[in-house]
Amino acid sequence: MTQLLQQHLVIAPLLVPLLGGILLLLMRGSATPLRRLVSMLSVQLLFGVALLLLLTVSDGRTLVYALGGWPAPFGIVLVADRLAAMLVLLTALLALFAMMHAIQGSDRSGRQFHVLFQFQLLGLNGAFLTGDLFNLFVFFEVLLIASYGLLLHGGGPDRSRAGLHYVVVNLVGSSLFLFAVGTLYGVLGTLNMADMAVRVAALPPADRALVQAAGLLLCLVFALKAALAPLHLWLPRAYAAAGPAAAAIFAVMTKVGAYALVRVSTLIFGPGGELDGLVEPWLLSLGLVTIVVGSIGVLASRQLGLLVSHLVVVSAGTLLTAFGIGGAAAVSAGLYYLLHSTLVAAALFLLTDNVAAARGRCADRIAAGPLLPAANLLGGLFLVLAVAVVGLPPLSGFLGKVMVLQAGLSSPWMPWILAVVLVSSLLTLVAVTRAGSALFFKTDPDAGSATLPNMADLVPVMALGGLGILLVIYAGPVYAFVAATAAQLLDPAAYVGAVLGAAPDAVPVVAPDMAQGAVATPEVNLP
Amino acid sequence: MHSSLPLMVSLPFVGALLAAWSGTQGRLWSAWVSGGVALASLGLLFGPALAVMQGETLLWQATWVPQIGLDLGFRLDGLSLLFALMILGIGLLVVLYARYYLADQDPMGRFYAYLMLFMGAMLGLVTSENLIQMAIFWELTSITSFLLVSYWRHRSEARQGARMALAITGAGGLALLGGLLLLGQIVGSYQLSDVLAAADSIKASPLYLPALLLILLGVFTKSAQFPFHFWLPHAMAAPTPVSAYLHSATMVKAGVFLLARLFPALSDTAAWTWIVAPVGLATLVLGAYTALFKHDLKGLLAYSTISHLGLITLLFGIGTPLAAVAAVFHIMNHATFKASLFMAAGIIDHEAGTRDMRRLSGLWHYMPYTGLLAMVAAAAMAGVPLLNGFLSKEMFFEKTVFMAELTDSAWLLPVFATLAGAFAVAYSLRFIHDVFFGGAPTELPRIPHEPTRWMKVPVEILVVICVAVGILPGLTFGPLLYLAAGATLQGPLPEFSLSVWHGFTPALGMSVLALLGGVAIYAVRRPLFRLHEQSFGRFDARALFIALESALLGLAAWLDQRLHRPSLQRMLAVILLAAVAVVVAGLWPSLRDGTLSGPLPLTPPDPVSIAAMLCLVVGAVGTVVLHRERWTALVMLSVVGLIVALAFVKLSAPDLALTQLSVEMVTIVLLLLALYFLPKHTPRESSLPRRLRDLTLAGAVGLTAAALVWAVLTRPYQSIAGWFLDNSVPGGGGTNVVNVILVDFRGFDTLGEITVLAIAAVGIYMLLQGLRLDAPRADAQGRPWSWDTHPLILATFARLLLPLALLVAVFILLRGHNLPGGGFIAGLVVAVALVMQYLANGITWTRPRISGQLHPLIGIGLLLSTATGLGSWYFDRPFLTSAHGHFHLPLIGDLELATAMLFDLGVLMVVVGITLVILIRLGELDALEYPPARGRRRVMAARAQLRRGGGH
C-alpha cells in the first residue's frame, strides 16, 4: 500500500477529489450526514497525501508522473516540485477549514455542494500539478465550471447576476487561452511546458515576435484569473456574492492565476531563455495599479463581503508586484505573501458570514447594527484578521509586506513600490477601522435583533487565523522553504531535466522503438 | 546573553491574557494580576539595570527570519533603561489608579488586558535592537492605543478619537517602516548597533534624505508634532488612566524616544536641524497658546503635552550634545509632573462629575489635599523653581540663547521660548485657580469630596519625585540622566551641571520674564478668550478630520463607481482590448520589420474553399446582425458549425467532422429548447455610437486573431504530431490516431473534459431544480405554436429509428479505435436519437418511457473511465496506461480490443447522461402540458388551478 502510494503520490491529490466527487455524485439522495462524512473524509485524505507530497519534494527533487506511461513531451505529465506541492497543500488546508464551516449548515442552502466542492479541488490541484499547457487549460475548465456551480450555491438574484458575469468573463478568457495555446503549438510544436522552454531557448529570431505575442496573450488569461487590474473587474462582486465556504476556497483560486504566471514566466519565458523578462514589467506596473484600484474599492465598500473581496484584489496586486520585481528575494517574498493572503482572506470570508448571520437583518452592511451578544469574540477575531490583512504588525501581513518592500528596494521602481504599498496600507487601514468600529462598536437600537454566533462556525476562522500566527512564529523556516522554492523556480534547467529526461537540450525526435521500450504492453488474458 | 530582557518584555503580553481571563473571575482580580505582572517585569529589570549602571550595554539576540535581516534583539542601555523604568514605574501607578477610577459597569478585564498589551508593546519598542522589530512594536502601540481610547465604545467621540489616532499614528508608522527599511538598505543591517556605528555613511548616502523624512514623519505623528498634533486632544476621550499613561508618559514619548535613539545616526546635518527644530518650535508655541483656551481639564493638559513634546523636539533639533541632554532630562521631568496632573484631573472628574473649568471652582474647600498635589505638579509644569520642571526648562532657555548667539537669525528662538514659557505659566495658573479657587461651585452635578486613600497614592509618589528632583537633581535623576544621555549621544557626555542655582544667567531672566508674563496673561484671560474664540478657536481639527475622511471616502466612492461598475459589457471590452493590446505589443517588432508572414508559400485558393469561407463569413456576420431575432440567429450559427464540419472533411479529419456535426445538432436542438422560454424578440438596447464602438472592438479582435493565424500558418509546422502517427498502432493499439490520442496518449485531457461535462450536468441540475418558467404559449402575433403537435410520420419514424441509432452508436464506439468514431461521437449519436424522441413525440409520451433517474449514468461513466485508469496500477503502470490485444470473438470475428475502449464507454455514458439531464430538466421547466390551450386566458386559468393544487 505504501509502495503504491509512493509510486502514484503525484496523482493522488487529483484522484482523491475525483473519486470523492464521483462517489458523491453516485450517492445522490443519500442522507446529508453520510454525504458530509464522505466529503470530509475525502478532504482529510487529500490533506494527508498533500502533506506527504510536500514532505517528499521538500528536499528539492522534482517528481514526474507520466500519465498512461507516455514519455514527455508526447504524453501528459504531472510535475510536482516545491511550488506545486506547497500550493496543493495550501489548497487542502483551505478545503479542510472551508469544509468544516460548510458542514455546519451552509452546504444545505443549495444542492450538490459536496460534489462541486470536490471537483473544484480536482481543478485546483490539477492546475497546480500539470506540466502540460493544454492539460492546464482542461483543469482551468474544471475549475471554472465547478466554481460557477459553487458560486451559484444558495441561489438568489445577486448570485445569479454575479455568476453570469463570472462565467461569461471566464469563458472569454478560456477562448483567449485557446488562441494562445494554439499559436504556441503552431510555432513551437509542443504542449509540454518543459519542452516549450527548451524550444523557446532555441527560438529562431524570425519566430520571436510571434511567440512573444502568444506568450503575452497566455499571461493575459492568467492575469485575468489572478485579478490583475484592469482585468480584476469580475472578482469583487463574484466573491462577495459567493457563500462562505465557496468564497473561502475561492481565496486560492486567484492564486491559480498567479501560480500559472510565475510558472510560465520562470519556465517558458524564464532565465536563460530567449524571452526572459517578457512578463515581469507588465506585472510590476499593473500590480501597483491593482493595489491602488483595490484600495479604492476597499474604501468605497459599504458591505463587509465586498470590502473583503476588494482586499483580495489588493493582495493580488501585492503578490503580482512581488513577482513583477523578479529575482530570488522578490519571488520568495511573493510566495510568503501568497500563503499569508490566502489563509487570511479565507478566514475573513468565513468570519464575514458569521458576522452577517449574527447581525440579523443588518447582515454585513457597514453601519450601526444591533448590540452583538458576542461583540468581543467576533470583534476580536475581526481585529486580528484585519491587522493581518492590512499588514500591520505583528501578524503575517506585516512580514509579507516587509519582504516585498525589501525586495523592491533594489528595483528601479523603488519609490513607486514604497509609496503605493505604504499608502494603500494606510487607506485599507482607514477603511477597515471604520468598518470594525461600525460593525462591532456602534449600536443602533432600531436595527433589529442579533443572535449569538454558532461557536462551531468560528472554529475554522480561529484555526485559519492561528495558521496565520504560526506563519509569523515560524517565519524563519517558512521563509527558508519559500526561498528554496524560489531558487528552484529560477533554475528551470532542473525542472526541464526532470521532465524530459537526462538530456534536456536534445530536441525529441520521432523514435517509435523508444516508446516501445518505455511502455511495454501488458498481455491481457480474456476468457 | 541576558534572557531576562525578552522575559521582561513578554511578561506583560502573558499578563494581558491573564488579565482578560481573570476579569471573568472577579472584578478586581485583573487589577491584581496586572499589578503583579508590572511588578515582576520591574523585578526582572533590576539585574540588567545594575549592569547598565556599570556602563554596560546589554544585548540579547535570537534568530527569527535571518534571511530578511529580521531577528529578535533586545538591547538595554541607559536610554532604554530610562524608558523601561518610566513605562513600568508609571504603569504600576496607573494600574493602581485605574482600579479605583473605573466604574462598576466598566469591564475591568478588558481594560487591564489592553493596558498590559500596551505596556508590553512599549517595553518592546524601547528595548528593540532590531529596527524592523522596533517598527513592529511601534505599530503595536498604535493598535493597543486604539483599543484603549475606544474603550468606552458606546461613546461616539471615543470611537472617533480612536480612529483618528490610529489613522494618524498608523500612517506615521507606515512611513517609519519605509524609512527604517531605507536606513537598513543604506547600512546593510537592521541592527541598531550597526546603524549607530554607520553614522557617516548614512549621512553621505543619497537615500539619507528620503529615509530621514519618512522616519521623521513617524516621529512627528507619534509625538503629536505640528501639523499632526490634532489627534492627541481627541484621544482624550479615553479613560483618564489611559491618558495619564499613554498621552503623557509613554506612547507620545515614543516619537522623541526615536529621535534620541537615532540621534547619533541622523542628526548633525542641515536637513535635520531645519526640519526638526522649526517643527518643534511651532509645536511648542502653538501647544502652549492653545492650552490656555481649553476649557476641558484634559484638553488643557493635552495641548500642554503637545507643547512640551514640541520643546523636547526642538531641543533635539538644535542638535548639540548639551541640547540632547536637556531633552532627555525634560522627558523625565515631563513624565512625572504630567502623569500626576492627568491623575489629578481624573480625580476631579471622578469626584466632581465634570472636567469643564467653566463649571468647576472652589474645590479647595472640598478636596484640599488633592488641590495641594495638583498645585505642586502644576507649578512644576509652569517651571517654578525648586521643582523639576524648572530645571529642564532653564536648560532649554539656555540652549535657545546659545543658538541665538551662534546664528544671527535665531534671535527669535529665545523670544518664542519665553513666550511659550509665559503661556505655560498662564495655563498652569488657570488649571489651579479656575478649579480650586474662585468662589464656591454652583453648577456641579454632585458634591465633591476627597477620593479614596489609594487613588491619591500614585499622585503623591509622582509629586514627591517632582519636588525631590527639583531640590536635589544631582542625587535623584542625576545618575539616570547621565546614563540615558550617554546612551543617546553614544559618545562622551558634554560638561553640564545639575543644580538649582546657576547664577544670574540670561536663562534665569527668561524664566522670571515667563513667570511674570504668565501671570499677566492669566490676568487678562477673559478678553483673550473672546479674541481666541473669534479667531483660532473656530478651527476645529475634528471637524476637519471628519471632513477630510468623508472627502476621501466620497472620492473613493466616486472613483469606485467609475472603476467597478458591474457591467458585463465593460468587463468584456476591457479584456478584449487588453488582449489586442498585448498581442500587438508582442507582434510589434515583426509588424515593424514585416516578418509577420513566415517563409511558406501561400496555397492558391480554390472556388470551393472560397465559397465555403464566404458562407462562413455570412453565417458569422448574420448571427451578429440578427442576434435580436433569436431563432434566425441560431440558424445562422448552425451554418457556421456546418461549414466548420465541412472544413474538417476537406482537411481529412473525419473524426472531427463527425464530432462537430453531432455536437452541432445536439447543441442547436438544446438551444432551441432553451429559446422556447425566452421572448421571441429582443428590444434594441444599444445606441449607434455604442454599436460602432463594439464593431471597432470586434474588428480589432478579429484582425488580431487573423494576424496570429496568418503568422502561424505561413510558418513551417514542426511538431510532435509525427510521433503520434508512428506510435498509434504499436503503442496505442489503434489505427485511428485521433481516437488513440483522445483515449490514450492524452486520455487524461479527455478524463478532465468529461469531468467538466459531469460538473456542468450537476450545475444544470442544481440551477433548474424547482425552477418553473412561464413559457409563452403563443408568438408575438398571438398565434399558438403549432396545431399539428406531433406529426404522425415523424413520431413513428423516430421510434423506429431509436434502436437503429443505438446500434450505430455501438458500432461507432467499437470501431472508434481504428476508424473514425469513438465514445464521444457515439454518445452524441445516442443523444441525437433521444432528442429526436422528445421532438417527435413530445414530453408526455417520452418522459414515462425514459427513466427520470438516468443521472447516475454520468457518475457511472466517470467512474468507469477513472477505474479503467486505475486498473493499470494493478499492472504496476502509471494511471491510464492502456493495454491492447488482438482477439477472435465468435460471430464478430477478428477484433483489436484495448482497455481504452472501456474508457471510451465511460465517455459515452457521460455524454448521454448530460444530454438527458438537460433534456429532462428543460422539459420539466414548463409546468403545463403541450398542446397549449386555445387562448391565453385558459392557460392562465389552468395554471392558477395547478398552483392551488400545489404543483403537479
Closest residue by Cα to residue B135 from B98, B110, B172: B172
Cα–Cα distance, B915 to A3 (Å, whole number): 41
- Scanning every residue of chain A, which has its alpha carbon at the shortest distance from the alpha carbon of B732? A521
* Average confidence (pLDDT) over A157-161: 86
Residue B557 near chain A (CB below 8 Å): yes
Which of B 896-915 lie inside 8 A of A, CB atoms? 897, 899
Cα–Cα distance, B165 to B252 (Å, whole number): 11
Would you place residue B853 in the very low, low, confident or very high pLDDT band (cuts 50, 70, 90)? low
pLDDT digit string, tens, across residues B911-941: 988 888 887 777 766 645 444 434 444 445 5
pLDDT of B289 strictly over 70: yes
Could you give the angle at the alpha carbon of B119 between the alpha carbons of B115 and B123, nearest 5°? 170
Could you give the angle at the alpha carbon of A225 between the alpha carbons of A224 and A227, nearest 5°? 65
Would you place residue A205 in the very low, low, confident or very high pLDDT band (cuts 50, 70, 90)? confident
Confidence at residue B402, expressed as pLDDT on a 0 to 100 scale: 83
Confidence at residue B528, expressed as pLDDT on a 0 to 100 scale: 83
Residue B881 near chain A (CB below 8 Å): yes
Beta bridge partners of A66: A77
Chain-wide mean pLDDT for chain B?
86
> Residue B654, Cβ neighbours under 10 Å: how many?
15
Chain A: nearest CA to B269, how far in angstroms?
A: 23
Residue B551 near chain A (CB below 8 Å): no
Q: Please indicate whether, in this complex, the C-beta atoms of A209 and B146 are within 8 angstroms of each other.
A: no
Q: Which long-range contacts (CB under 8 A, 24 or more apart) does B508-513 make?
A: B508/B394, B510/B397, B510/B401, B510/B414, B510/B417, B510/B418, B510/B421, B511/B383, B511/B385, B511/B390, B511/B393, B511/B394, B511/B397, B511/B421, B513/B418, B513/B421, B513/B422
pLDDT digit string, tens, across residues B149-176: 999 988 888 998 899 999 999 999 999 9
Confidence at residue B891, expressed as pLDDT on a 0 to 100 scale: 67
Residue B714 near chain A (CB below 8 Å): no
Task: Compare A432 and B882 and report the one with higher pLDDT.
Answer: A432
Task: Compare A207 and B838 and report the one with higher pLDDT.
Answer: A207
Would you place residue A526 in the very low, low, confident or very high pLDDT band (cuts 50, 70, 90)? very low
Residue B751 near residue B866 (C-beta atoms within 8 A): yes
No. of helices (H) and no. of strands (E), chain B: 37, 4
Residue B409 near chain A (CB below 8 Å): no
Interface size, chain A vs chain B, as Cβ–Cβ contacts under 8 Å? 371
Closest residue by Cα to residue A342 from A92, A14, A13: A92
Sort residue B775 into left (φ over 0), alpha (ψ -120 to 50) or beta: beta
Q: Enumerate the residues of chain B whose CB falls inside 8 A of the CB of residue A233.
A: 563-564, 570-571, 574
Chain A: nearest CA to B777, how far in angstroms?
A: 26
C-alpha torsion sign, points B309, B315, B318, B321: negative
Q: Enumerate the residues of chain B whose CB falls inside 8 A of the CB of residue A437.
A: 150, 159, 162-163
Q: Enumerate the residues of chain B whose CB falls inside 8 A of the CB of residue A508.
A: 720, 723
pLDDT digit string, tens, across residues A480-494: 999 999 999 999 989
Confidence at residue B776, expressed as pLDDT on a 0 to 100 scale: 65
Confidence at residue B783, expressed as pLDDT on a 0 to 100 scale: 67
Chain A: nearest CA to B117, how far in angstroms?
A: 12
Chain B: nearest CA to A511, how far in angstroms?
A: 7
Give phi and psi for B58, each to the nearest 5.
-90, 140
pLDDT digit string, tens, across residues A48-102: 999 999 999 999 999 999 998 888 888 999 999 999 999 999 999 999 999 999 9
Exposed/middle/buried for residue A118 (C-beta within 10 Å: 0-12, 13-18, 19+): buried
Would you place residue B785 in the very low, low, confident or very high pLDDT band (cuts 50, 70, 90)? low
Cα–Cα distance, A525 to B7 (Å, whole number): 73
Residues belonging to chain A: 527
Confidence at residue A527, expressed as pLDDT on a 0 to 100 scale: 34
pLDDT of B896 strictly over 60: yes
The alpha carbon of B84 is separated from its chain's Cα centroid by a whole number of angstroms, namely 33
* Average confidence (pLDDT) over B113-136: 94
Chain A: nearest CA to B560, how far in angstroms?
A: 6
Would you place residue B786 in the very low, low, confident or very high pLDDT band (cuts 50, 70, 90)? low
Q: Please indicate whether, in this complex, the C-beta atoms of A402 and B177 are within 8 angstroms of each other.
A: yes
Choice among B56-70, B276-290, B786-800 with the minimum mean pLDDT: B786-800
Choice among B109-123, B208-222, B319-333, B427-441 with the minimum mean pLDDT: B427-441
**Burial profile B359-398: b = 16 or more Cβ within 10 angstroms, e = fewer:** bbbbbbebbeebbebbbbbbbbbbbbbebbbbbbbbbbbb
Would you place residue B769 in the very low, low, confident or very high pLDDT band (cuts 50, 70, 90)? confident
Q: Please indicate whether, in this complex, the C-beta atoms of B873 and A8 are within 8 angstroms of each other.
A: yes
No. of helices (H) and no. of strands (E), chain A: 22, 2
> Residue B416, Cβ neighbours under 10 Å: how many?
16
Which of B 291-350 lie inside 8 A of A, CB atoms? none
pLDDT of A39 strictly over 90: yes
Interface probe with B: pick from A2, A233, A298, A509, most Cβ of B within 10 Å: A233
pLDDT digit string, tens, across residues A103-118: 988 888 777 899 999 9
Confidence at residue A514, expressed as pLDDT on a 0 to 100 scale: 36
Q: Please indicate whether, in this complex, the C-beta atoms of A68 and B755 are within 8 angstroms of each other.
A: no
* Average confidence (pLDDT) over B258-268: 93
Grid cell for residue A366: 457597514
pLDDT digit string, tens, across residues B801-835: 888 988 998 888 888 877 877 888 899 888 888 88
Closest residue by Cα to residue B903 from B734, B725, B759, B724: B734
Give phi and psi for A365, each to the nearest 5.
-60, 135
Which of B 489-548 lie inside 8 A of A, CB atoms? none
Beta bridge partners of B130: B191
Q: Is A414 helix (H, G, I), strand (E, B) or coil?
A: helix
Q: Please indicate whether, in this complex, the C-beta atoms of A231 and B749 are within 8 angstroms of each other.
A: no
Confidence at residue A510, expressed as pLDDT on a 0 to 100 scale: 35
Grid cell for residue A176: 483567449
pLDDT of B612 strictly over 70: yes
Would you place residue B117 in the very low, low, confident or very high pLDDT band (cuts 50, 70, 90)? very high
Q: What is the 3-state secondary structure (H, E, C) of B851-872?
A: CCCCCHHHHHHHHHHHHHHHHH
The four Cα atoms B202, B205, B206, B209 give a dihedral, to 10 degrees, of: 20
Residues belonging to chain B: 952
DSSP 8-state class, residue A30: S
Grid cell for residue A461: 476562522
Confidence at residue A447, expressed as pLDDT on a 0 to 100 scale: 75
* Average confidence (pLDDT) over B408-430: 87
Residue A129 near residue A80 (C-beta atoms within 8 A): yes
Interface probe with B: pick from A441, A469, A481, most Cβ of B within 10 Å: A441
Chain A: nearest CA to B363, how far in angstroms?
A: 36
pLDDT digit string, tens, across residues B476-517: 888 888 899 988 988 888 888 777 777 788 888 888 888 899
* Average confidence (pLDDT) over B114-135: 94
Confidence at residue B443, expressed as pLDDT on a 0 to 100 scale: 73
> Amino acid identity of A122?
L
- Scanning every residue of chain A, which has its alpha carbon at the shortest distance from the alpha carbon of B866? A19
Confidence at residue B784, expressed as pLDDT on a 0 to 100 scale: 66
Confidence at residue A504, expressed as pLDDT on a 0 to 100 scale: 37
Would you place residue B107 in the very low, low, confident or very high pLDDT band (cuts 50, 70, 90)? confident
Query: What percentage of chain B reaches a pLDDT higher than 70?
Result: 93
Helical residues (DSSP H) of B626-746, grouped into ranges? 630-650, 654-675, 688-713, 721-732, 737-740
Cis, peptide link before residue B791, omega less than 30° from 0 = no
Q: Please indicate whether, in this complex, the C-beta atoms of B575 and A231 are within 8 angstroms of each other.
A: yes
Residue B703 near chain A (CB below 8 Å): no
> Residue B587, Cβ neighbours under 10 Å: how many?
22
Q: Is A70 helix (H, G, I), strand (E, B) or coil?
A: coil
Q: Please indicate whether, in this complex, the C-beta atoms of B163 and A523 are within 8 angstroms of each other.
A: no
DSSP string for residues in B578-610: HHHHHHHHHHHHHHHHT--S-SSPPPPP-HHHH
Grid cell for residue B93: 501607578
Q: Enumerate the residues of chain A whose CB falls inside 8 A of the CB of residue B69.
A: 406
* Average confidence (pLDDT) over B703-725: 89
Would you place residue B684 in the very low, low, confident or very high pLDDT band (cuts 50, 70, 90)? confident
Residue B258 near residue B397 (C-beta atoms within 8 A): no
Could you give the angle at the alpha carbon of B642 between the alpha carbons of B640 and B643, nearest 5°? 65
Grid cell for residue A69: 506511461
Q: Enumerate the residues of chain A whose CB falls inside 8 A of the CB of residue B715.
A: 186-187, 207, 210
* Average confidence (pLDDT) over B872-880: 86
Residue A395 near residue B136 (C-beta atoms within 8 A): no
pLDDT of A335 strictly over 90: yes
pLDDT digit string, tens, across residues B330-381: 999 999 999 999 999 999 888 888 888 888 888 888 888 999 999 999 999 9
* Average confidence (pLDDT) over B856-866: 90
Interface probe with B: pick from A239, A402, A473, most Cβ of B within 10 Å: A402
Cα–Cα distance, B293 to B525 (Å, whole number): 9
Residue spans of the domains in chain A: they are: 3-502
Chain A: nearest CA to B23, how far in angstroms?
A: 13
Q: Please indicate whether, in this complex, the C-beta atoms of B855 and A28 are within 8 angstroms of each other.
A: yes
Query: What percentage of chain A reaches a pLDDT higher than 70?
Result: 95
